[in-house]
Amino acid sequence: MKILMIEDDRTIREYLGQELENWGYKVVLVEDFTDPLKLFNETSPDLVLLDVVLPGRNGFYWCQEIRKISKVPIIFISSKNQPMDMVTGMQIGGDDYITKPFDLYVTRAKIDAILRRTYGMTMTDGSMTYEGADFNSGKGILTYGDEEIELTRTEMMILSELFSAQGGIVTRQSIIERCWQGEDFIDDNTLAVNMTRLRKKLRDIGLDDFIITKKGVGYGLKKD
């Protein structure tokens, strides 16, 4: 899973960023605060860690801008610790608010909890297994035997839905809503293209027909 950190304190940014990577997350650090939304659009993160006090426009502003285009989870991390600051953060679309100085393990627990609620799976080790295939969402890798493939963010989200169903059928609409939150123009053809690419990757490591299609309904993982 990918985390975008919008934090202007270099020490906190690099320290927390390294810890998150040690836990298996992919971390993108904002260095230019004139337009963090640009990097958000380029990287499509699964969660945003957002400071309130930033150079130029504050974190409340950028939260509102992100909410115009995405439902991605947002956690504020800020030295502004007054109740009204926290209320404001939640009212404009934040999912949680952590005050500085923060406890590293509490922060990790909050991140894990929000990702679990949002994406429906445990993120502390990021691993699920089905019929001999091991899917590690934290690293974005699927392993089968001695072979492994690296997955894109969309492919990870698709497999998260399918692995969570453990052989059940997931509707096309459910997958679309999970993978492309807030993007109303997405249709079945976009999903079909991504499924074709993912199936090719799976075939390359010996997982032929690993994803099955139930006509008129959706997709699932095959049962032996």
Q: In which band, very low, low, confident or very high, does the pLDDT at 126 lie, cut at 50, 70 and 90?
A: low
Residue at which a domain ends, from 119, 140, 165: 119
Q: Which domain holds residue 197?
A: 127-221
pLDDT at position 123 = 44
Which uninterrupted H or E stretch holds 133? strand 133-136
Read off the DSSP letter of residue 212. E
127 strand-pairing partners: 136
State how far the Cα of 115 lies from the Cα of 150, in Å rounded to an integer.
20
Q: Count structural domains, the chain.
A: 2
96-99 and 74-78: which strand pairing? Answer: parallel
Residue at which a domain ends, from 119, 138, 167: 119
Mean pLDDT in residue range 179-195: 72
* Lowest-confidence pick of 44-53, 91-100, 108-117: 108-117
State how far the Cα of 6 lies from the Cα of 38, in Å rounded to an integer.
12
The answer to whether residues 9 and 115 belong to one domain is: yes
The answer to whether residues 115 and 139 belong to one domain is: no
Which uninterrupted H or E stretch holds 6? strand 2-6
State how far the Cα of 14 lies from the Cα of 16, in Å rounded to an integer.
6
Bond before 36 cis per omega within 30 degrees: no
The answer to whether residues 9 and 110 belong to one domain is: yes
Structure tokens at 24: 């298996």
CA Rg value for the chain? 19
pLDDT at position 186 = 61
Phi, psi of 219 (to 5 degrees): -135, 160
The answer to whether residues 144 and 72 belong to one domain is: no
The answer to whether residues 142 and 208 belong to one domain is: yes
> What is the number of alpha carbons within 13 Å of residue 42 lying toward its C-beta?
8
CB 129, CB 144: distance < 8 Å: no
CATH of the domain at 142: 1.10.10.10
Mean pLDDT in residue range 116-136: 72
pLDDT at position 20 = 85
Q: In which band, very low, low, confident or very high, does the pLDDT at 142 lie, cut at 50, 70 and 90?
A: very high
The answer to whether residues 22 and 114 belong to one domain is: yes
Q: Is the pLDDT of residue 184 over 60?
A: no
Residue 35: CB atoms within 10 A of its CB come to 14
Q: Give 182 or 36, the one with higher predicted confidence.
A: 36
Residue at which a domain ends, from 97, 119, 141: 119
Mean pLDDT in residue range 186-208: 89
Query: Distances in Å between the alpha carbon of 215 and those of 46, 96, 113, 198, 203?
Result: 30, 40, 35, 18, 21
pLDDT at position 206 = 95
Q: Average per-residue pLDDT in the chain?
A: 86
Q: In which band, very low, low, confident or very high, does the pLDDT at 63 lie, cut at 50, 70 and 90?
A: very high
